[in-house]
A and B are shown apart, each in its own frame.
Chain A
């Protein structure tokens, strides 16, 4: 479904991605692991069009994405839940969800809002409140709910468990499994490697802008290097 080929991405003169390649097949959950600053968020931003690669290319369903603007990529069925929530603080919770469905029209939007409320009842209670007044964890739920509102075929999640209480982390990963079962392909970036490896099918390990390791979830979980660096020994 998604094929990333030798992409090179720069911030001015700093090269953040040094010829990165990986694939995500239809229906998979694939995780990207890596230390702080390895280039995980940069990878997602490049897929969603916020950054343009200087070299290499990205294909979605066999078609190159080169030069497409972020809003066009959303229309192709790719939703990106960015790192740090990035909800619209002065829109209400409900407005945030509606704007998540900006590319869609019709009555199904109302049903999907109810679906998000069913996943996150907290959001329903606070539907008319401005999103900036939510707690950090609630904002994270809103960011994920907003991403789902686009009805994506491919969902890019950047640290969805960040700042959440352990019970909520479990809940978020349960939701990730559930939406994957409903047919959504997922590319997951996580600091919580144990959880990520528990839900994903395959994974890649990034280090300073390149892939150093790849494999099935079980293989990675059994790999000494991964265990030492990301699973706490």
Chain B
């Protein structure tokens, strides 16, 4: 059987295609981006004309996927963990409407915050919405879950969450593919009112969701992804979730783990396996990537019953990614610690590329702001966030997509004038537009700088959905065209740009300045590809 050396994200892309998916809907976000990119480049996806264009944000993505499910076809929506915050409204409600065609919500968490603002654990959302969660421990499971998750969704009639973490997303291993399933036909929901969440209907559907929990429990107990592994030393029982299972087995290759282990890759937690472990073992150790979700639910408020070790009692760190070393330590295993890093080794943080247009924008902004007190530039998420670091140190915030504009407005409301927002073109399209409307409606005294590199660069240079539309969006929202300016951020335009910033910072009202020059990485990729 031929094995493909797939990244976890690629395994999911291939699994979804092979599972008969008709559309992937996503907004880029590390570590989820390459799922959609894989599908975009895939020949079967092309031949079947599977929907695979980027959405404006995670909310529009998941809603569109739900629409495709309504029409009977199989759809997947992919996002990074914080993307699910943006899509949370539809996510929770979709559990109540349920699905028609199978719907998988793939969410990639980033413990240790390699490329994120936080390390929230999406399993809480899955539990909150009361839907089944799949958490692969290997690339093969990631493939299988993406492929067969649609059937699970159609069987349970709710969306299914596929939760991965950075390490699995960006690690490669052999995957065996299965037969490619046909796509679903267009079919309407059998109950025409299924998707109408008017209170009277919603109450009924919610009760349905509650009573379905028994089925979800039964499926977890029967799941091929969950199992009880025998062990002779009952002084300890181990619950290992998702990829944490691999870190455990690393220390006990070939079935040599002396302790009984419950491997978890499908939730709700299978009660039979957990109960058996609890009954047989003196103590339990919980290994889970992310927050102590399983640990908390087994521990209970009063910590009665079997002693439980994990992230809450200090056996494992409370935050950050797990690894084989942390698990060795939790098991009391002595290991050679390697060699120390010599003290002369310096940090090498990421930085803006030499020649990046954001640099010119920051240089001009700093000069124009020299006469004002510090702390007036609210920023957002993208390459330009690196303007927080030397040599620029221009910005004072980076919170969530779109918050630059609204925080600048709030600060201006409080009297910090001028307040400035620095936002990228894709972030503006994602979540900046509504905030700008608020500012226009109140004639807020803010300057919004939309640093337009015609690309979603932070995540690798995807197409930006606001491409070619930014001025018309601003005019449409009601920004005075006399206060919308475009400039090419280049050294030779520095003086002009400084002047423009000065002038608009002084203007009492909403102004928009658009420094526009294509991301140099994207430009060179484009040139390479056209060769």
Do these two chains interact? no
B residues in contact (CB < 8 Å) with A: none
